[in-house]
Chains A and B, each alone.
Chain A
Amino acid sequence: MGANDIIRVENLAVVYGEDHVLDGVSFTVNKGEIFIIVGGSGSGKSTLMRHMTGLEAPAGGNIFIGDTDIAASGSKDFSATLKRIGVLFQAGALLGSMTVAENVALPISEFSGLPAEAVAAMVQIKLSLVGLECYGEHLPSEISGGMKKRAGLARALALNPDILFLDEPSAGLDPVTAAEIDQLILHINQTLGTTIIIVTHDLDSIFAVGQRAIMLGRESGHIIARGAPADLRDHDPNPEVRRFFTRKPPDT
């Protein structure tokens, strides 16, 4: 492992039935960077993220987070590694029976060892970080989609993870809210030094926050491009990649 990598994916293969969703996918993510995974619909971006967060076991290959291979089943450092990562799911994935504050408090009270008042103060800090300091007592069903995402982000950040995975953080949000989320991502990256991996196809977001990107091919299951988003848009030899980053359909 290089001095600067925090995640190393080696030859990852994912097979569903006859379908090779991912095939020979290898890349590294450096500590402290904002790394983007893009690709058309059905290219396996979310599948890649589900494997990187240990939710599914791959058909082949390795995924190292730090020095732990989370793809190896029964890895003894697996649960310790899980505490180093935070995940924001597409719709927030808040527990519906708990208030927003209780959702954020859940990992803090379970794993930090703080007394109840300190947990409450910490929840207040995390909620104000995402601008939800007044919505702690609301149930997830009582707040909007954008707020759910921000609450999910607060929960993902609860234990100050080294690595934050965001699945389509700006999908389904209005442009202003999406831009606010981008600002929040940059803010978290700069102030907390968190490594952030974003699965998205929101071009505004990609150019606003992304430092490096990989693009998955729609049918191949391979990485078809890698580099800084602006370079991929302007200089990539593959027309599919340039079209993606300039938002042009194939026949123009």
Chain B
Amino acid sequence: MKPNPPFEKPLLEVRQDEENTLNVILQGPADISTAPALIRQLSASVPPNQTIQQVKVDFARVTRLDDYGAMVVLRLVQILKLNHDQLSFVNLAPEHEKTLALVDFGQPDCRIPSHKSGNLIIRLGDATISVFQGGTLFVEFIGAMVFSLMRVLKRPQSFRANDAITYMKTTGVDALPVVGLISFLLGLIMAFMSSLQLSQFGANLYVASLVSLAMVSELGPIMTAIVVAGRSGSAYAAEISTMKISEEIDALVVMGFDPNLFLVLPRVVAAMVVVPILTVFAGIFAVAGGLVIGVLMLSLSPGAYIQQSLEALSLFEVMWGFSKSVVFALLIALTGCFRGLQARGGAAAVGSAATSAVVTSIFLIILFDSVFAIIRSYW
């Protein structure tokens, strides 16, 4: 507790008489401006561990009372843990009585349980249950997607092609500069770092093979997928969750639309079309980045560098990278849309949908990349 400022005007006086009755005399204004001083003086003059039977609060000298002043009395009740019948007011003016009527000096009688559960085990259980429920919901979501897809195959005109084209632009075309720049720099870095080692054996030419093989079959698909997850997976989640919390998706459902067909399928198709194309561009830009190092630092001719890059690649490698990126695109789009559809609540739900869409997508991309690596080793 801070000590009273020495010049602070006394705003209350506390007197205790023989029968354990505490007389609290308020003086001057008791309102929002004096409440901090009143609380300080109250804490200083009323020790909490007293055996008080009765408290009389005298309002005779109160010039102004608002609910902040009434709060000071409530604090007195709380500090001394008083019952309702232990508290009485004297010299109460009618207008002050009105103000005090705003305040319930007893404990509020609440039967509504708060939703917060403090118990660690309960929270751990809740978290586990929600993880499993999330898994079940995701399986249900995939199932619903399959049904929507079958409906589209039966009735192709129900597919929203215009939406899909819009998403192809936002997911693919608009991402090209950033994907291109990152791949170019990645190719440049990889060529530079590997040349430091390979030049020791006079194997400079193999820098070209290393960059093209690594970027086309492994790093290109992953980097592109991570960029798309950050750019578009989060955008899908944010758009759909905003629609969800503003009841737009409910509106679609009651109008008889299938939200999966309306919102999810165009995004999934768009991503699966453009992400592989972006991946091809990523490979080309990476080779270009390596070429800069090869020509400027390793004295290779551009023709020889490109020749060596192409020789290192088989059609299988290219198709392998290509098919990985199709799977990654599916994962990104499905996760983004799923997280969006799961959103509940207000503005915070949009943020957490976008965050968890990106985190889940990146995790799944890495997980499936290792699955691909295992498949390949047993090919």
Contacts and interface: CB of A to CB of B under 8 A. Distances in A.
Contacts of A142: 115
Count class of interface residues, chain B? 20 to 34
A129 interface: yes
Interface in B329-351: 344-348
B99 interface: yes
B75 A96 contact: no
Interface stretch (B32-40, B296-304, B367-375): B32-40
Contact of B348 (A97, A113, A117, A190): A97
Interface in B112-136: 112, 114-116
Count class of interface residues, chain A? 20 to 34
B70 interface: yes
Interface in A97-153: 97, 112-115, 117-118, 121-122, 124-126, 128-129, 133-135, 137-142
B108 A124 contact: yes
B83 interface: no
A134 B108 contact: yes
B32 A125 contact: no
Contact of A160 (B32, B74, B108, B111): B32
Nearest to A96: B346
Nearest to B102: A129
B71 A122 contact: yes
A124 B73 CA distance: 13
A134 B104 contact: no
A134 B110 contact: yes
A172 to B, nearest CB: 14
Interface in B58-76: 66-68, 70-72, 74-75
Interface string A209-250: 000000000000000000000000000000000000000000
A141 B352 CA distance: 15
Contact of A138 (B66, B78, B115, B346): B115
Contact of B345 (A141, A159, A160, A191): A141
B95 to A, nearest CB: 9
Contacts of B66: 160, 192
B114 A160 contact: no
A163 B72 CA distance: 24
Nearest to B74: A121
B103 interface: yes
Contact of B114 (A115, A137, A141, A191): A137
Contacts of A124: 74, 108
A190 B71 CA distance: 19
Contacts of A128: 102-104, 108
A162 B67 CA distance: 14
A89 B112 CA distance: 26
A117 B78 CA distance: 10
B32 A121 contact: no
A112 B104 contact: no
A159 B111 CA distance: 29
A52 B374 CA distance: 67
Nearest to B38: A118
B352 to A, nearest CB: 10
Given A115-B39, A118-B39, A159-B32, A137 B115 contact: yes
A114 to B, nearest CB: 5
Contacts of B112: 134-135
Contacts of B348: 96-97
Nearest to A142: B115
Interface string B10-33: 000000000000000000000110
B98 interface: yes
A118 B36 CA distance: 9
B102 A125 contact: yes
Contacts of A129: 67, 102
B42 to A, nearest CB: 9
A127 to B, nearest CB: 9
A21 B239 CA distance: 32
A124 B70 CA distance: 12
A117 B104 contact: no
Given A114-B35, A160-B32, A191-B98, A121 B108 contact: no
Given A139-B115, A191-B98, 10 more contacts: A114-B36, A124-B108, A125-B67, A126-B67, A128-B104, A129-B102, A160-B66, A190-B98, A191-B101, A191-B102
Interface of A: 96-97, 112-115, 117-118, 121-122, 124-126, 128-129, 133-135, 137-142, 159-160, 190-192
By Cβ-Cβ distance, the 9 closest A-B pairs, closest first, are: A96-B346, A134-B110, A137-B114, A141-B345, A133-B108, A113-B36, A118-B39, A134-B112, A122-B71
